[in-house]
Amino acid sequence: MSRLVLIDGSSYLYRAFHALPPLSNPQGEPTGALFGVVNMLRATLKERPEFVAFVVDAPGRTFRDDLYAQYKANRPPMPDELRSQVEPMCQIVEALGISILRIPGVEADDVIGTLALQGVGRDLTVTISTGDKDFAQLVRPGIELVNTMTGSRMDSDAAVMDKFGVRADQIVDLLALMGDTVDNVPGVEKCGPKTSLPSSSTPPAKPSAMTCMRSTRRTGHQCPTSCVARSSRCARSWKHWASASCAFPAWKQTM
């Protein structure tokens, strides 16, 4: 069966930038993130996938900014040392013969999630190369997550359960309850990682939302942000797929 690799390019760049020392070339230009990205790309291409795409965020607003005005409002601007490496990174990726996808109005996450499901529908084995926890909800037969920085792989409900304590189909509700400080998405008050998890080793059909609701009732806390949190998190769950339909043969990787 042919394999499609979807690379979370934005995640690659940030992770490489923060994980590696501040390297530079003889002209004094920063190159640390580039070095990390190239190493991760080499690890991906070494497996010789039939299809591969490098997906990055397009500039400008996305539909999530309209859903929730405070979405990612707590994030600082991209450091200049990192910004200067974005265009060279894209040049390197294109020089390797890898297609770069940028879809206006949505995030790279949406494009990857959409194409992963399209790929499985076309009988491709799909590998998502990322370190983003949100993608765990996509794990199913035919879709796996690979973290090239750590070498970890998530390819089954058992692997997702081992990492997060819930099945892949429960990830959306788990993150909606917990919220996400990275994206500035509020969760249910007093509902943290432990409270959000099912109370028994056999997970129920739904994550333990009732556990959190009972907890908040006991403590007398109200949950005015829970609806916003769930709405924003569902938007993160690739249920609002934008027009990201691309012809897979255009991504064929020449080895």
pLDDT greater at residue 128 or residue 190? 128
Residue 246 has pLDDT above 70, yes or no: no
Asked if residue 141 belongs to a domain, the reply is yes
> 144 and 215, same structural domain?
no
What is the residue range of 144's domain? 3-161
Asked if residue 250 belongs to a domain, the reply is no
Asked if residue 241 belongs to a domain, the reply is no
Residue 139 has pLDDT above 90, yes or no: yes
> 65 and 122, same structural domain?
yes
Residue 224 has pLDDT above 60, yes or no: no
Residue 208 has pLDDT above 80, yes or no: no
> 42 and 140, same structural domain?
yes
pLDDT tens-place string over residues 82-120: 889 889 999 999 998 888 998 888 888 888 998 999 899
> 133 and 58, same structural domain?
yes
> 117 and 135, same structural domain?
yes
Residue 184 tokens read as: 């500035």
Residue 122 has pLDDT above 70, yes or no: yes
Instruction: Give pLDDT, residue 193.
Output: 66
> 146 and 171, same structural domain?
no
- The domain tally of the chain equals 2
> 155 and 117, same structural domain?
yes
Residue 138 has pLDDT above 60, yes or no: yes
Residue 219 has pLDDT above 50, yes or no: no
- When pLDDT is cut at 50, 70 and 90, the band that residue 209 belongs to is very low
Residue 223 has pLDDT above 70, yes or no: no
Instruction: Give pLDDT, residue 239.
Output: 36
> 140 and 74, same structural domain?
yes
Asked if residue 13 belongs to a domain, the reply is yes
Residue 148 has pLDDT above 90, yes or no: no
- When pLDDT is cut at 50, 70 and 90, the band that residue 217 belongs to is very low
Residue 249 has pLDDT above 60, yes or no: no
Averaged pLDDT for residues 114-129: 92
> 181 and 125, same structural domain?
no
The residue from 136, 161, 186 where one domain ends is: 161
What secondary structure does DSSP assign to the chain, as a single string? --EEEEEEHHHHHHHHHHHS---B-TT--B-HHHHHHHHHHHHHHTT--SEEEEE-PPSS-BHHHHH-TTTTTTPPPPPHHHHTTHHHHHHHHHHTT-EEE--TBS-HHHHHHHHHHHHHHTT-EEEEE---GGGGGG-BTTEEEEETTTTEEE-SHHHHHHHHSS-GGGHHHHHHHH-BTTTTB---TT--HHHHS-SSSS--SS-SHHHHHHHHHHHT---TTHHHHHHHHHHHTT-S--S----GGGGBPP-
> 149 and 212, same structural domain?
no
CATH code of 61's domain: 3.40.50.1010
Q: From residue 237, how far is each of 109, 122, 132, 134, 230 by CA, in Å?
A: 9, 21, 12, 8, 10
Residue 158 tokens read as: 């058992």
Instruction: Give pLDDT, residue 240.
Output: 38
Average pLDDT, the chain: 77
Instruction: Give pLDDT, residue 99.
Output: 87
Residue 211 has pLDDT above 70, yes or no: no
Residue 245 has pLDDT above 80, yes or no: no
Asked if residue 228 belongs to a domain, the reply is yes
> 219 and 143, same structural domain?
no
Residue 229 has pLDDT above 80, yes or no: no
